[in-house]
């Protein structure tokens, strides 16, 4: 049995949580749900202040001024005090896709619905605007002097707080690249996790690159799977892979510390240890031994995980992807609490002491007279008496007659047994998992551009699972190389015939595949 920790508190919600944030000391928790309700709660007295937004909060940031800034899916950027009083509002055309703030610097960066990156200060004043390509991600360094953003074709641009360009990372693949995630270290080095869509001439298909503030690539580390999560401490770089491996990086060397059964989705450093979210589980992994110190199982898949600066409060939430259950609660934990052994299952059989009943002549039927027993049997005895002319028959004969099973009764029991077996088999058949339906889309016949290539979209999002949901997507080329782990993928293909295979895995582990051909002429 694993060591576990118990939550300090759980907060029930009426709708799925779309974003969360904590104050630095962990005393205030802010969250938004998909029904548009924004809530700030005091951890000490559980007093709540709520505001109905125009749409759900896409991102929430706690800024060093002591306020919460929330971006809306279809609305402006709003700033609230801890008492939920609105302090300022700034326009965000088309809503907000992504928002980040600096830990120490007076700056917030967000990508609006028109795909422009904007920077503002903590008073809501606009500092700069940047627009180039289809931006899908960004990160910001500690003091807010550099913002790194990237598009859906692998271009990465580093900007200053006024959105002036510092440098641009070139694409290293002719077919295309994808930036998975990026993060700044404490000394300003930019870590970039990227994936190439073909086999590169140099390096690995999945790599973590190191870039200094001058725009120079200083090194890289290759992986056997996509690096989804990165976190850093003063002397450590942690990488969480899609394959479930947890790696500790030292220079250009990697050391596998631990491995999860599922993909790693988020990492938070805690002293010399690391907190790892994977599927429904949160693990604390010891850096030195690689052992799991404790684990916590959440009611839903962990989508959001934040920790206070004092490392005393950890908030996590996420939905179980089941439309027929209530939204999973917001769980609050103390990551430094003393772990305990997981209790045995409630299904374990516990033998109970027999109940002793004091018997007397009044309550013991076996001590009663034959006449009392005849009265108890009633009409059954009378029918027996008439049929067998039971004069001279003993009570033993009577009881033996009632204990005998007639041929009709035996046949009835056998029929019931056979029927129960058939019902059991039918019940098991109904519970048997149905495989997912995989649809890689229609074959495509496209024309190449002037450069002899064509941008192609492969869309397998119509795949579905009739009795659950699809957990894993895998696009592979003809030679078996994994190209993407999402339902859709963009590829730039040269002239020729290309074939790709989509494999989907459902929540019970069943798999199905479908292939699509693309002809570029």
Can you point out the beta strands (E) in 160-272?
165-169, 177-184, 190-196, 206-211, 217-223, 227-232, 237-241, 245-250, 253-259, 266-270
C-alpha–C-alpha distance, residues 177 and 171, integer Å? 7
Nearest 5°: CA angle at 345, between 339 and 347? 170
Please state the φ and ψ torsions of residue 385, each to the nearest 5 degrees.
Answer: -65, -45
pLDDT in the model for residue 417: 55
Per the CB < 8 A criterion, the answer to whether 327 and 16 are in contact is: yes
Cβ neighbours of residue 399 closer than 8 Å, sequence gap 6 or more: none
Domain boundaries of the chain, sorted by first residue: 3-341, 444-520
Q: Which two tokens stand for residue 510?
A: 């069943």
Per the CB < 8 A criterion, the answer to whether 314 and 297 are in contact is: no
196/208: higher pLDDT: 208
pLDDT in the model for residue 56: 94
Answer whether residue 258 shows pLDDT above 90.
yes
pLDDT in the model for residue 473: 87
pLDDT in the model for residue 379: 57
Residues β-bridged to residue 406: none
What number is the average pLDDT over the span 301-323?
90
CA 141 to mean position of chain CA atoms: 26
What number is the average pLDDT over the span 348-370?
45
The third-level CATH classification (topology) of the domain covering 444-520 is: Immunoglobulin-like (2.60.40)
**What is the enclosing helix (H) or strand (E) of 93?**
none
Residues β-bridged to residue 295: 4, 283
173/295: higher pLDDT: 295
Residue 431: C-alpha distances to residues 23, 441, 491, 508 (Å): 46, 30, 40, 12
CATH placement of domain 3-341: 2.130.10.10
Helix, strand, coil percent values for the chain (each to nearest 5): 10, 45, 45
Q: What's the whole-number average pLDDT of the chain?
A: 85
In terms of Cα–Cα distance, which of 80, 128, 133, 132 is closest to 108?
Answer: 128
What number is the average pLDDT over the span 493-502?
89
In terms of Cα–Cα distance, which of 274, 234, 282 is closest to 255?
Answer: 274
345/252: higher pLDDT: 252
Confidence band, pLDDT 50/70/90 cuts, at residue 263: very high
What number is the average pLDDT over the span 384-389?
55
What number is the average pLDDT over the span 153-167?
95
Answer whether residue 291 shows pLDDT above 60.
yes
188/490: higher pLDDT: 188
C-alpha–C-alpha distance, residues 21 and 23, integer Å? 7
DSSP track, 419-471: HHHHHHHHHHHHHSPPPPB------EEE---TTSEEEEEEE-TT-B-TTS-EE
What tens digit of pLDDT does each residue of 418-471 get?
555 555 544 544 456 788 999 999 999 999 988 788 889 999 989 999 888 888
What tens digit of pLDDT does each residue of 28-85 get?
999 999 999 999 999 999 999 999 999 999 999 999 889 999 999 999 999 999 999 9
pLDDT in the model for residue 383: 58
Specify the range with the lowest mean pLDDT, choosing from 163-167, 327-331, 382-386.
382-386
510/349: higher pLDDT: 510
Percent of the chain with pLDDT strictly greater than 70: 81
Can you point out the beta strands (E) in 233-358?
237-241, 245-250, 253-259, 266-270, 273-278, 281-285, 292-297, 304-307, 314-317, 330-333, 340-341
Q: 330-333 and 453-459: which strand pairing?
A: unpaired
Nearest 5°: CA angle at 326, between 325 and 329? 130
Percent of the chain with pLDDT strictly greater than 90: 60
C-alpha–C-alpha distance, residues 156 and 403, integer Å? 86
What tens digit of pLDDT does each residue of 69-126 get?
999 999 999 999 999 999 999 999 999 999 999 999 899 999 999 999 999 999 999 9
């Amino acid at each position: 049995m694993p060591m576990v920790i118990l939550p300090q508190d759980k907060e029930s919600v009426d709708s799925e949580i779309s974003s969360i944030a904590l104050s630095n000391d962990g005393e205030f928790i802010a969250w938004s749900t998909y029904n548009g309700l924004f809530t700030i709660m005091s951890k000490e007295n559980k007093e709540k202040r709520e505001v109905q937004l125009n749409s759900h909060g896409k991102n929430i940031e706690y800024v060093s001024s002591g306020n919460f800034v929330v971006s809306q899916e279809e609305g402006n950027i709003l700033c609230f005090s801890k008492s939920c009083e609105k302090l300022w509002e700034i326009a965000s055309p088309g809503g907000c896709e992504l928002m980040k703030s600096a830990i120490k610097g007076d700056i917030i960066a967000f990508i609006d619905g028109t795909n422009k990156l904007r920077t503002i200060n903590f008073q809501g004043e606009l500092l700069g605007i940047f627009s180039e390509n289809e931006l899908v991600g960004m990160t910001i360094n500690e003091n807010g002097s550099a913002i790194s953003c990237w598009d859906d074709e692998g271009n990465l641009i580093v900007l200053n707080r006024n959105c002036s360009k510092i440098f641009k990372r070139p694409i290293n693949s002719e077919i295309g690249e994808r930036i998975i995630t990026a993060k700044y270290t404490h000394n300003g080095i930019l870590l970039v996790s990227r994936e190439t869509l073909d086999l590169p001439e140099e390096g690995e298909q999945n790599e973590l690159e190191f870039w200094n503030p001058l725009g120079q690539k200083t090194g890289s580390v290759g992986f056997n799977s996509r690096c989804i999560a990165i976190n850093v401490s003063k002397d450590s770089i942690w990488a969480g892979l899609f394959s479930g491996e947890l790696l500790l990086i030292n220079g250009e060397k990697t050391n596998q510390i631990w491995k999860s059964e599922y993909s790693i989705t988020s990492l938070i450093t805690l002293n010399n240890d690391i907190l790892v979210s994977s599927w429904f589980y949160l693990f604390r992994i010891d850096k030195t031994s690689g052992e799991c110190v404790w684990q916590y199982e959440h009611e839903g898949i962990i989508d959001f995980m934040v920790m206070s600066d004092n490392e005393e409060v950890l908030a996590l939430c996420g939905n179980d992807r089941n439309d027929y259950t209530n939204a999973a609660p917001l769980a609050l934990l103390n990551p430094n609490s003393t772990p305990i052994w997981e209790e045995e299952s409630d299904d374990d059989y516990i033998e109970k002491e027999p109940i002793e009943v004091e018997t007397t002549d009044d309550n013991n039927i076996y001590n009663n007279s034959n006449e009392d027993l005849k009265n108890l049997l009633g009409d059954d005895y009378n029918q027996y008496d008439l049929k067998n002319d039971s004069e001279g028959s003993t009570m033993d004969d009577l009881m033996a007659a009632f204990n005998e099973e007639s041929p009709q009764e035996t046949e009835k029991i056998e029929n019931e047994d056979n029927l129960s077996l058939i019902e059991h088999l039918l019940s098991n058949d109904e519970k048997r998992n149905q495989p997912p339906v995989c649809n890689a889309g229609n074959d495509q016949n496209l024309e190449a551009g002037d450069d002899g290539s064509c941008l192609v979209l492969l869309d397998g999002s119509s795949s579905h699972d009739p009795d659950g949901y699809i957990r894993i997507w895998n696009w592979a080329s003809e030679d078996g190389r994994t190209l993407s782990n999402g339902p859709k993928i963009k590829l730039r293909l040269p002239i020729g015939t290309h074939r790709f295979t989509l494999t989907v895995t459902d929540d019970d582990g069943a798999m199905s595949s479908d292939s699509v051909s693309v002809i570029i002429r």
